[in-house]
Structure 1
């Protein structure tokens, strides 16, 4: 009987210790960091990018850091407020679109020049290297920059009118993600319309816009394939994105936490965007096919015509950046071209 009681006592102590240990670990987080983004919680930005990144940080700090993510459905999810919230310290980190609000990152907008970038990996590596080389000037000067990246070459998605030539673009009202892309559309005779992603579906449905220029991924994320009929794969442009942190917040963190953030950001993080965009684009394209939409592939000859037609716009846009404080936009553009060629050769030498 004594042996039985002893065994029960020891078992109780072990169970209690386990519960206490679990509770201790669960409450071990000394630091809570908040991240915001402007897309739904089901989007790859959260599922493939931010949630795994947050888990890595929590593991590397042995539970010292807890990360909370706020998506488009939260009070922190407005696309035009992402960087401002970080600067104000309301949010510690954010993922945002460079072109909204307009002209916020003029030097970085050079990555969005028409027909410069075709692939997300090359575009992301190029933008990140321009930043590391100090070519982006005062862009992002108030932040700890965790990553910069681009998407794949974007498409032209339309409701009722297929776009097979430059002539087809004239007069179309198309949603645009940035001033650089707006300038491209205007040069082709289209009318750019600035809208946040959350407003795309409603404006398509009401006929306020004829279509949009964006990725397969975004039209899928906002359910626009339900309304769209045509998708023109021209690979005409990309948009730039940022992952920023409040610099003062970063500086206030313990050394081991700062080290952990650095280890999972920058080069190793930027290197992942090519694979992620491939996945996200494939899902969006598959959704368009499921809806029976027509996919129009622009051939090399037509693509060359489009590229030639937009050269005056590129020259004018680069010249206009000087008035926005960019010292030598032509040099940045030249360096961007060199880097894109370098990374295309590295990642896509066998591609046709």
Structure 2
């Protein structure tokens, strides 16, 4: 009887220890707005998660929710992570519309050519100029894609005048203003609807980076590509601040070590890699690509100065009194990183 009692105690103790260990596992939800097949999940999100789980010796487990999942809606991610519905989110700064105007200064046309410079510029701007837009969040990284192109179906565009009368899918307010200023009609469409609308002739073209041309197979219905490096679009990778602060110190340290500048420095290489399939698909189809020189880009920028000035003035009218300071600092940082 005594042996039976001791054995029972041992089983109870073991089961209690196992339960305690199970309780120690911290489960986090990470959402993003792109399909699970997108290279950003394979090259960025999954390795980041794997590194977090590895360095915490399995104390942290992360479940990824991509586009099409319960938490993968692009327009809801910002509020979801801030409210703690998800713990971490990789989102697009243009959604919800109008919520992050300081951040969107980097969308202004002909500011930056490369993802590397844009991403590092955003990260440098964040503490002083952008942080107030992300209250309730612990920012893990910010980044932006390589300079985007103007793509058209039937009409070759090589100069500003060629845009007059064209209906072009636009990615942001800043680029909508640019297109209007140059005589084109900006059309707002989700990326997933661009192919069909090009095919039917509802729009004449779009403004996208090379990466999207491949991801959405747009090269099939496009004929011409103006590599103007005309703009970029930015993204945030953030954690709910309360959740972050509730984690044990050693877990927070791991998150800090694999995020921030360490992570930001990787995006330039990743975006260049992600652009390659689009570049190759355009070449294989035989589409025509025109590349603007630096001098031509400067001419476009100079022509657009009144539009940029009006955009910054509108920000000031809406209460962002340091809008021009943010833009000037962005220009300074881009020059530093692109030299």
Q: Give the TM-score taking structure 1 as reference length.
A: 0.87
1:203 aligns with 2:178: no
Report the Cα offset of residue 100 of structure 1.
2.3
1:148–1:240 Cα contact (<8 Å) kept: yes
4+ runs deviating over 4 angstroms: 26-29
Structure 2 equivalent of residue 175 of structure 1:
169
1:146 aligns with 2:140: yes
1:160–1:210 Cα contact (<8 Å) kept: yes
Structure 2: give runs of 5+ residues left out of the alignment.
1-17
Matches of 2:224 and 2:23, distance apart in 1: 52
5 Å-filtered alignment, 1:164-243, equals: 164-243=158-237
Name which of 291, 297, 313 aligns with 1:303: 297
1:338 aligns with 2:332: yes
Measured at CA, do residues 89 and 206 of structure 1 come closer, stay the same or move farther in structure 2, by a change above 3 Å?
farther
Name which of 23, 32, 39 aligns with 1:37: 32
Measured at CA, do residues 137 and 318 of structure 1 come closer, stay the same or move farther in structure 2, by a change above 3 Å?
farther
Measured at CA, do residues 321 and 344 of structure 1 come closer, stay the same or move farther in structure 2, by a change above 3 Å?
same
Matches of 1:315 and 1:258, distance apart in 2: 42
Measured at CA, do residues 290 and 104 of structure 1 come closer, stay the same or move farther in structure 2, by a change above 3 Å?
same
2:142–2:235 Cα contact (<8 Å) kept: yes
Matches of 1:230 and 1:255, distance apart in 2: 53
Matches of 2:77 and 2:198, distance apart in 1: 25
1:31–1:66 Cα contact (<8 Å) kept: yes
Structure 2 equivalent of residue 58 of structure 1:
53
Structure 2 equivalent of residue 287 of structure 1:
281
2:136–2:242 Cα contact (<8 Å) kept: no
Matches of 1:137 and 1:95, distance apart in 2: 16
Structure 1 equivalent of residue 308 of structure 2:
314
Judge which range, 35-44 or 45-54, deviates more: 35-44
1:100 aligns with 2:99: no
- Name the SS of the counterpart of 1:79 in structure 2: coil
2:92–2:235 Cα contact (<8 Å) kept: yes
Measured at CA, do residues 158 and 55 of structure 1 come closer, stay the same or move farther in structure 2, by a change above 3 Å?
same
Measured at CA, do residues 203 and 76 of structure 1 come closer, stay the same or move farther in structure 2, by a change above 3 Å?
farther
1:29–1:63 Cα contact (<8 Å) kept: no
Root-mean-square deviation (CA), in Å? 2.0
1:151–1:238 Cα contact (<8 Å) kept: yes
Structure 1: give runs of 5+ residues left out of the alignment.
1-22, 346-352
- Name the SS of the counterpart of 1:80 in structure 2: coil
Matches of 2:43 and 2:100, distance apart in 1: 26
Matches of 2:47 and 2:288, distance apart in 1: 35
Q: Give the TM-score taking structure 2 as reference length.
A: 0.90
Report the Cα offset of residue 327 of structure 1.
2.5
Measured at CA, do residues 301 and 334 of structure 1 come closer, stay the same or move farther in structure 2, by a change above 3 Å?
closer
- Name the SS of the counterpart of 1:236 in structure 2: coil
Equivalent pairs counted in the alignment come to 322
